[in-house]
């Protein structure tokens, strides 16, 4: 007896030198000036992706399980309402929770294609291979790409639903977020859908605890970004002398995750032809994680022509999944 093995198609949309060139640009733009910052996409090398996976299992980190709860309750409704035959997933990581959605789409017989998209190539290839094996008859086409740059080159076959889970949209700043939503809407045909996961504003102590876990996994995840700069650009950050400082920013309603050097450091970053002096106590912003209100999500989506069909929350009201449809008259396929 022979067993058919389905290999996923993998398209690498990133140039071979993308990681280094993009990192050089970001380092020059973000680290050379005060206040200093780095883009969160550099958090996800292989080690960073494993650390994020560990975060999702921490008792303090509620978003993953809350979103899983909503998907468990609503996946069938989402499949029917969207009528999609192609599921595109942005920032897919392990696509672990996504299986709940894929199961619902598969059980109505409508699932033809799954297109996971992530900058982290190793984890993406692994997830694509696993899903290809688990969902016989479904074409899996993984794209190694940046969702802030490559939306328009994503495969467009079938009627699509673009899912963006985990609250990753909250890691973009408001300007990047608006730009991202505009491009997302522009790449969809009228009648195609978006499913957006967002963490909601809530009791402050629980939010802060989710980003300041007792085992220090989040601190190591955030510090890992400087290890990436050291490795890729031959830099000499003394990573262990940085402490992790997660702030709640009440005005912006977001977590602001920073690293603070406890001693002065002269840092050479030869790969970016840059040297910087950090004073003791100086901070580098590594990531923000915005928390949302349902009304705000609705108005940001409708501002770009994405009409909200429905927002669902988990029972505790911690997290929201919002289904929206691209406005306009659908073209027959
Ligand atoms: N969707 C998963 C993973 C979230 S972690 C979940 O809900 O658990 C965020 C994921 O987005 C990581 O896998 C990271 O590699 C990816 N990512 C971050 N910035 C990205 C970008 N600009 N383009 C594509 N993927 C990105
Ligand atoms: C991927 N993203 C939604 C996570 C978040 O909660 O903002 C990243 C993260 N950073 C620290 N912990 C988790």
Cβ–ligand 1 distance for 166 under 6 Å, the answer yes
Q: Is the dihedral of CA 136, 8, 130, 5 positive or negative?
A: positive
Task: Say how many Å lie between the CA of residue 202 and the centre of ligand 2.
Answer: 16
241 Cβ contact partners less than 8 Å away, ≥ 6 residues apart = 261, 262, 263, 265
Q: Which atom of ligand 2 is nearest to the CA of 168?
A: 3
For a ligand 1 pocket test, name from 61, 71, 93 the mutation site with the most ligand atoms within 8 angstroms of its C-beta.
93
For a ligand 2 pocket test, name from 163, 166, 244 the mutation site with the most ligand atoms within 8 angstroms of its C-beta.
166
- Pick from 201, 126, 194, 191: nearest CA to 170: 201
- The CA distance from 252 to 127, in Å, is 34
Task: Say how many Å lie between the CA of residue 2 and the centre of ligand 2.
Answer: 43
- The CA distance from 331 to 284, in Å, is 48
pLDDT (tens place) for every residue of the chain, 333 residues total: 444 557 888 887 777 666 667 889 999 999 998 999 999 988 999 999 999 999 999 999 999 999 999 999 999 999 999 999 999 999 999 999 999 999 999 999 999 999 999 999 999 999 999 999 999 999 999 999 999 988 988 989 999 999 999 999 999 999 999 999 999 999 999 999 999 999 999 999 999 999 999 999 999 999 999 999 999 999 999 999 999 999 999 999 999 999 999 999 999 999 999 999 999 999 999 999 999 999 999 999 999 999 999 999 999 999 999 999 999 877 666
Single pTM value for the model = 0.95
Cβ–ligand 2 distance for 287 under 6 Å, the answer yes
């Amino acid at each position: 007896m022979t067993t058919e093995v389905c290999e996923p198609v993998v398209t690498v949309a990133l140039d071979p030198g993308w990681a280094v060139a993009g990192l050089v640009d970001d380092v020059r733009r973000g680290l050379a000036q005060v206040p200093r910052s780095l883009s969160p996409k550099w958090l996800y090398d292989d080690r960073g992706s494993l650390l994020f996976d560990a975060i999702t299992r921490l008792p303090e980190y509620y978003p993953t399980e809350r979103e899983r709860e909503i998907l468990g309750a609503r996946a069938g409704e989402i499949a029917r309402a969207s009528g999609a035959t192609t599921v595109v997933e942005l920032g897919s990581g392990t696509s672990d929770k996504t299986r709940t959605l894929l199961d619902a789409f598969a059980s109505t017989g409508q699932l033809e294609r799954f297109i996971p998209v992530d900058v982290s190539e190793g984890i993406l290839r692994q997830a694509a291979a696993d899903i290809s094996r688990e969902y016989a008859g479904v074409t899996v086409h993984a794209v190694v790409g940046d969702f802030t740059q490559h939306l328009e080159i994503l495969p467009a076959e079938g009627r699509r639903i673009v899912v963006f889970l985990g609250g990753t949209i909250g890691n973009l700043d408001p300007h990047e977020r608006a730009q991202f939503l505009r491009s997302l809407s522009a790449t969809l045909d009228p009648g195609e859908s978006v499913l957006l996961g967002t963490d909601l504003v809530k009791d402050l102590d629980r939010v802060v605890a989710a980003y300041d876990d007792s085992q220090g996994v989040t601190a190591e995840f955030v510090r890992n970004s400087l290890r990436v700069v050291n490795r890729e650009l031959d830099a000499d950050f003394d990573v262990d002398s940085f402490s992790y400082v997660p702030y709640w920013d009440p005005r912006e309603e977001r977590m602001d995750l920073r690293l603070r050097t406890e001693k002065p450091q002269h840092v050479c970053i030869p790969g970016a032809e840059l040297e910087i002096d950090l004073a003791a106590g100086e901070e580098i912003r590594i990531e923000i994680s915005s928390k949302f209100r349902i009304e705000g999500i609705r108005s940001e989506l409708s501002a770009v022509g994405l009409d909200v069909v429905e927002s669902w929350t988990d029972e505790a009201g911690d997290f929201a999944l919002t289904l929206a449809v691209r406005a306009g008259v659908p073209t027959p396929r």
